[in-house]
């Protein structure tokens, strides 16, 4: 009876969040929410530890495989099992969350200082590049604001930047998406 009630509540919450996620078009948050539901179900039913839960999720839910691998790598890192964490982290795409930081830290702890240094350098260079793009975007945006009569609002400025400044289109897309949602 209690199990049936729990499953019914789970379905109601999942449907509600699906509606909210569609309304906000927030797929990432929806996936995180679904993952948290799976975790709660496993803890409720099986009394498993975090590692076992993520291993089970990785096996049974392919749509959460990368997220589960990320949490497994994080778990191993916290347990100071750096070799295992590094092996799992290598299976995750380089652009996923802060996986490169985890990989660099594990490489350093294992003694692969050269690999760790390369990863830290790559992370730093990417951050510097992003900052430079952001600065350039802000400068272009500010220059366009001076000619305010040409544009009705920020959205038009960002669309103009997206179309006219190729290197800044990614930042413009982010701002446009944020504006639209």
Per-residue pLDDT at 80: 94
Per-residue pLDDT at 63: 80
Per-residue pLDDT at 45: 67
Per-residue pLDDT at 82: 95
Per-residue pLDDT at 106: 92
Contacts of 130 (CB under 8 A, 6+ apart): none
Per-residue pLDDT at 146: 78
d(CA 160, CA 16): 37
d(CA 151, CA 70): 44
- Region at 80 (left for phi over 0; alpha for psi -120 to 50; beta for the rest): left
User: Exposed e or buried b for every residue in 80-112, given b needs 16+ CB within 10 A?
Assistant: ebbebbbebbeebeeeeeebbebbbbbbbbeeb
Structure tokens belonging to residue 145: 């604001």
Average pLDDT, 10 consecutive residues per value, the chain (181 residues): 55 56 53 70 70 83 85 92 94 85 91 90 88 88 76 79 83 81 67
Contacts of 132 (CB under 8 A, 6+ apart): none
Report the candidate in 59, 83, 67 with the shortest Cα–Cα distance to residue 32: 67
């Amino acid at each position: 009876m209690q199990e049936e009630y729990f499953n019914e509540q789970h379905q109601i919450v999942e449907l509600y969040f699906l509606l909210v996620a569609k309304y906000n078009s927030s797929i990432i948050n929806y996936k995180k929410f679904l993952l948290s539901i799976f975790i709660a179900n496993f803890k409720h039913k099986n009394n498993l530890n975090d590692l076992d839960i993520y291993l089970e999720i990785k096996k049974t839910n392919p749509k959460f495989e990368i997220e589960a691998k990320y949490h497994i790598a994080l778990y191993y890192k916290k347990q100071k099992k750096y070799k295992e964490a590094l092996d799992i982290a290598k299976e995750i795409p380089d652009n996923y969350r802060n996986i490169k930081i985890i990989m660099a830290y594990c490489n350093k702890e294992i003694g692969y200082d050269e690999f760790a240094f390369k990863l830290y350098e790559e992370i730093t260079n990417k951050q510097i590049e992003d900052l430079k793009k952001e600065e350039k975007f802000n400068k272009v945006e500010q220059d366009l604001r001076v000619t305010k009569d040409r544009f009705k609002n920020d959205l038009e400025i960002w669309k103009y930047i997206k179309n006219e400044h190729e290197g800044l289109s990614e930042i413009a897309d982010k701002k446009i998406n944020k504006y639209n949602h």
